[in-house]
Amino acid sequence: MMTSGAKTTMPEQKHIPSIGDCVQPDLWNYSEQLTESDGFSDSSFPGCQFRLPCKDYQLAVNIKVTGKPHYNHIPGHYKSRCKIEFVGDGKESTFSAGWIYHG
């Protein structure tokens, strides 16, 4: 395989999740883009970092990146393993592993 000689450098540090990144929990067969949290919290809901669209809902989530970046199939874009907390409202949170896609 021939290369053009241009070097592509892999990011050294773990990605910091941000609005616009796409997240795909392991049991989902699609990813969705993170949106801004509304900042709401009360005695039964501790608040969340982001909202994750799912059909007609905006799920409250916290994202922790657990792995270093890997090349994604789109040039210049990366993916990293992450832990997704689906924040409970008056009940326990649930967790999933997944991928976060970032540029």
Residue 12: pLDDT over 70: yes
pTM attached to this predicted model: 0.85
Q: Calculate what percentage of the chain has a pLDDT beyond 70.
A: 89
Dihedral sign computed on CA atoms, order 42, 44, 49, 50: negative
Q: Is residue 8 very low, low, confident or very high in pLDDT (cuts 50, 70, 90)?
A: low
Average pLDDT over the chain, rounded to an integer? 89
CA distance 17 to 87: 16
- Summarised one tens digit per residue, pLDDT across range 38-87 is 999 999 999 999 999 998 999 999 999 999 999 888 777 899 999 999 99
Q: Is residue 15 very low, low, confident or very high in pLDDT (cuts 50, 70, 90)?
A: very high
Domain ranges of the chain: 22-102
pLDDT of residue 2: 45
Short-list 11, 56, 66, CA closest to 32 = 56
**Under 8 Å CB-to-CB from 53, ≥6 apart: which residues?**
32, 33, 35, 59
pLDDT of residue 10: 66
